[in-house]
Amino acid sequence: MTVIGILGSQLLTTQKDPFYWNQVVFTRKRLLDAIQILGHSALVLPVDAPEKAADLVSRVDKILLSGGNDLSPDTYFDLPHELLGITDPARDAFELAAIHAAIAQKKPLFGICRGMQMLNVSQGGTLFQDITLCHEISLEHWQKTDQETPSHTVTVKSDSLLSFLPELHAVNSFHHQAIHKLAPNLTAIATAPDGIIEAVENKDLRLLAVQWHPECTFSSQPLDLEIFRYFIEEL
Ligand code: MN
């Protein structure tokens, strides 16, 4: 059994919120479902002090970075744009430390949505703080339909870690940010028809990431479960 360390999300509210005292740390059950269906297990690593990230990463086999809030533009040396959403600088700092620890410990990394954006930023890339700031976009990347239904295609490179996917793969889309400058050591291995980067890899770092949410579609699209199986059993 392989134990996946999922970097945890936080639901932080303001004092105006009646549930202010019920702030929670969580991960999506669908991520656990995908891992557990394949016979493996996960430990959630809640946001913690960056200095402790290396020790925590050493307790698990591989690291999964999940979706969530916007990255703070501080992480890629940009100023906040008015279209920037809610950020969580403590989570950003812990995740960056965990990524560098995983690379130092030669542990595989898999990023989903925000997780892909975080991996890009960790390697020196930047983001569009809102996808409308990329003038070439022509697709709706925050779909109105349910999370289980694909809404656009991606073109997948055949010589990539995702070579088990067909050249055209249908994906769901729930992101209002996107990769702007790709980190120099990452390769774009899937793109949407409008050019938005939808998957990246670095084979030497055992790093794979997708912009879509395969944890929502694997019941109807077995190839999306294969992405988890590949990460857990082969990456
Ligand atoms: Mn998309």
* pLDDT averaged over every residue in the chain: 95
> Per-residue pLDDT averaged across 67-87, rounded?
95
Q: Write out the catalytic residue numbers.
A: 113, 213, 215
DSSP assignment of 11-54, as one string? Answer: E---TTSTTGGG-EEE--HHHHHHHHHTT-EEEEE----GGGHH
Length of the chain: 235
Mean pLDDT of 20-39: 91
pLDDT at 17 (0 to 100):
65
CA distance 202 to 134: 25
> Tens digit of pLDDT for each residue in 95-145?
999 999 999 999 999 999 999 999 999 999 999 999 989 877 788 899 999
Give the rounded percent of residues in the chain with a pLDDT score beyond 70: 97
Q: How far is the CA of 38 from the centre of ligand 1 (A)?
A: 26
Ligand 1 midpoint to CA 53 (Å): 30
**Cα(91) to centroid(ligand 1), Å:** 23
